[in-house]
Amino acid sequence: MLNLSVLLEDSARNYPDRDALVLGDTRLTYAQVNAAANQVANLLVERGIEPGDKVALSCPNLPYFPIVYYGALKAGAVVVPLNVLLKGREVAYHLGAADVKAYFCFQGTPDLAIGAEGYAGFQQAREEQPDGAGPQHFFMIMADPSAPSSIEGTETLGQALAGKSPVFDAVVTEPGDTAIILFTSGTTGQAKGAELSHSNTMMNVVTMNRLFGNQPASDTHVLTLPLFHTFGATVQMHAGFATAATLLLVPRFDAEAVIGLMQKEEVTFFAGVPTMWWGLLAALDAAGGSVDVERIARNLRIGASGGASLPVEIITQVKEKLGVTILEGYGLSETSPVATFSDPAQEPRPGSIGVPIWGVEVKLIDDDWNEIDTVAEPDAIGEIAIKGHNIMKGYYGKPEATAEAIRNGWFRSGDLARRDADGFYYIVDRSKDMIIRGGFNVYPREIEEVLMTHEAVSLAAVVGVPHDSHGEEVKAFVILNAGATITEDELLAWGKEQMAGYKYPRLMAFVDSLPMTATGKILKRELVD
């Protein structure tokens, strides 16, 4: 048997009094978190949730998230984390597509009406499946568990848990049973639910803790990556609970707040997407000498990045200012998520996503699944294909989409990369992001890297826009450093000097910000639009 909830239960048994979750002045021990999760499990069983039933969760990085998450796992249910930015119509689609039976939804804030949108989606999903096959139970998670629901007529989590026992024996599940359904847009079409087994995720957790050298009851994580996203859930929440780490929860990324936590607490582990690392550097610059950088650097043991390609310039600046080498990795929801990672024991290679993690194989393929011989073609670019213990069971309820993505155990990622002579991989771009200008392939990642070496440039995003004669033209959206006086024409001219004639941007726009997802990925489609 294997149930992911053992990650919490084992640490609660061995380190009951150690802080597990910290949010502001709230500090919950492992014993307290485990007891609360047991109450959730008892609630679900009493409401008729059976092993294999789907339980959805919409919640930012608050203690309620892991409590409900592990409570559902204890009951033998499948957890379906949902992006908190979804609108009612989108929530309804996800609830229906995953056959969800129970739905826990946070009330939200004045700026983000998670509860209202979630309940609207719940109601729509029920109406679309009037035979009773739709979701049956809705629980509103209130910031104050004793407060009445923000939507009249709905039951709060606090009300539902009243009187529930803090003791529960986790339901027996098998390693291959589905534990999580993660919705991902993939490369085309509507979001699809990637089914991850208990074994998929557990192997990723064990491998990452082994890679990072995480020891029991010794680490403190700042967790600002959204927990509904696979990177934050696996690399920090699951891996952290497995080693009885203390997790400092940050509901919404704020660089100044994170720097403050790093000064106040002995933070040893920070993981983020590239825009978060960029934000930390900007906050340090803005703070001047008021930040105790030496204290932060003295405690910070691991810096990790994933979710998108990390500009080499950011790696360099973090090393100079915080004394830590960012370990860059790569993965997808379909790969649990980690597939490759920088090896801390080897000399880092800036710009590389590292090598395959233990138990995982990676190769480059062409459009017809044929493996590319990188020995004969050392500079060849191909699509990453992955095989190993981390590959999802498939897309829930979509056998055709599964068959298109997985062949003979190999999953094709949609990401383009190259491999050097030592086996290190380097992301070139998403295949769908590649620009074809006048018949030449242009990779936005490469252009962004060059632009960010200019002293005036803080962040850059490059996209292809329609062009009458060339098919596509290269356009750069640039955020300048504070005080920079360069003009768009001057930066365009500089780019022309730095890059081949078919590559350099002909179009440029200076912007104050870039559109991003809740996980910090730049929304290039919005830039194109």
Buried b (16+ CB within 10 A) or exposed e, 126-140: beeeeeeebbbbbbb
* Beta strand 338-341 pairing with 326-331: antiparallel
**CA-closest candidate to residue 315, choices 269, 280, 357:** 280
User: Are the CB atoms for 357 and 341 separated by under 8 Å?
Assistant: yes
490 and 507 Cβ atoms separated by less than 8 Å: no
Lowest mean pLDDT among 5-9, 400-404, 471-475: 471-475
CATH number for 435-528 (one of 3.40.710.10, 3.30.300.30, 3.30.390.30, 3.40.50.720): it is 3.30.300.30
Q: Which whole number is the average pLDDT over 113-119?
A: 96
Q: How far apart are CA 158 and CA 175, in angstroms?
A: 32
Strand partners, 246: 220
Average pLDDT over residues 326-331: 93
3-class SS letters over 386-412: EEECCCCCEECCCHHHHHHHEECCEEE
Q: Which pLDDT score is estimated for 121?
A: 95
The rounded distance, in Å, linking the Cα atoms of 144 and 107 is 10
What pLDDT, in 10s, does the model give residues 164-178? 999 999 999 999 999
Evaluate whether the domain defined by 6-173 bears CATH number 3.40.50.980. Answer: yes
Alpha carbon separation from 125 to 93, 395, 449 (Å, rounded): 7, 20, 44
CATH no., domain 213-324: 3.40.50.980
Each residue of 146-205: pLDDT tens digit?
999 999 999 999 999 999 999 999 999 999 999 999 998 644 446 899 999 999 999 999
Radius of gyration of the chain (CA): 23
CATH 3.30.300.30 in the chain: give the residue spans.
435-528
> At 205, which amino acid appears?
V
Location of each CATH 3.40.50.980 domain in the chain: 6-173, 213-324
247 alpha-carbon distance from chain centroid? 16
Burial zone of 120 (CB within 10 Å; 0-12 exposed, 13-18 middle, 19+ buried): middle
170 Cβ neighbours under 8 A, 6+ residues apart: 3, 5, 6, 9, 41, 73, 74, 76
Q: Considering the entire predicted model, what is its pTM?
A: 0.85
Distance of CA 175 to the CA centre of its chain: 23
Which residues are registered as beta bridge partners of 137?
A: 102
The CB density around residue 403, as the number of other CB atoms within 10 Å, is 11
Strand ranges, E, within 389-514: 394-395, 406-407, 410-419, 425-430, 435-437, 440-442, 457-467, 471-480, 507-510
**Quick check: 60 pLDDT over 90?**
yes
Pairing of strands 26-29, 19-23: antiparallel
Question: What phi and psi, each to the nearest 5 degrees, are found at residue 44?
Answer: -65, -45
Rounded mean pLDDT, 234-259: 97
For 297, list phi and psi in degrees, rounded to 5: -65, -35
